[in-house]
Structure 1
């Protein structure tokens, strides 16, 4: 079964401690579980391949404490967790806008800022990056939370 975007069951959210993963990286606004009230559907969302036991979870934008204003501001860096073979791989990504078309008005390219760990036992870095690309191609802009924008999105990779 390939990756699909879906809401996380309450059992899986607890099993994988998604509230704390979100809070670890997301420093702006409400913490979990209160932050879920912001969304129309009050559950976590992820991109999951249940057959292989893989999932991709977006934790949010990282904060830039060295902003021009002197105040903490959201940065262009986004934290994602890719879960493969029972282990979490942290990816910090940025995206650059690319030329829009009539068919795809949302066109951007993902770039890797950091990846930790860079490989797993019996899983190469290249294989992990291929899994990440698979998941991001389905995740698009906002996973299941914005299917309309996802349908208008074309994704590229600079890794």
Structure 2
């Protein structure tokens, strides 16, 4: 099984996989709407708009594991992201990124990351850059602003 085969659920409740993103550079982020880092949604949306035509897809996975900072329903999360940040990149149903109920996608991302291999996600807005071939290229900490990784994204898009 590869990254594209992992079952995920969209924010609207549709069961799917990441297969439709095969051949794209992915920026996978665990998000929250009541966090000091929540304004990163703006930067993530800007990256998506800037690089979408070249093959970048930002994927947001809400998570309520860090100080209960994502307490809303999926519908409330989607409305919040649209209303406050104009988010158009794909959002998914809430997931656990650590602990016994870690979503299989995050199990794979953490185990395949060259940095922090297997380590827990430290907070909201942890990021993983994934190559067009589905390999985890880089694990990026929560406090790194989206615009700071534009060069990494460009390098993967040109690879």
With the length of structure 2 as denominator, give the TM-score of the two structures. Answer: 0.26
Greater gyration radius = 1
Comparing both chains, which one has the higher relative contact order based on Cα–Cα distances under 8 Å and sequence gaps of 6 or more?
Answer: 2
In terms of fraction of residues, the more helix-rich structure is 2
With the length of structure 1 as denominator, give the TM-score of the two structures. Answer: 0.26
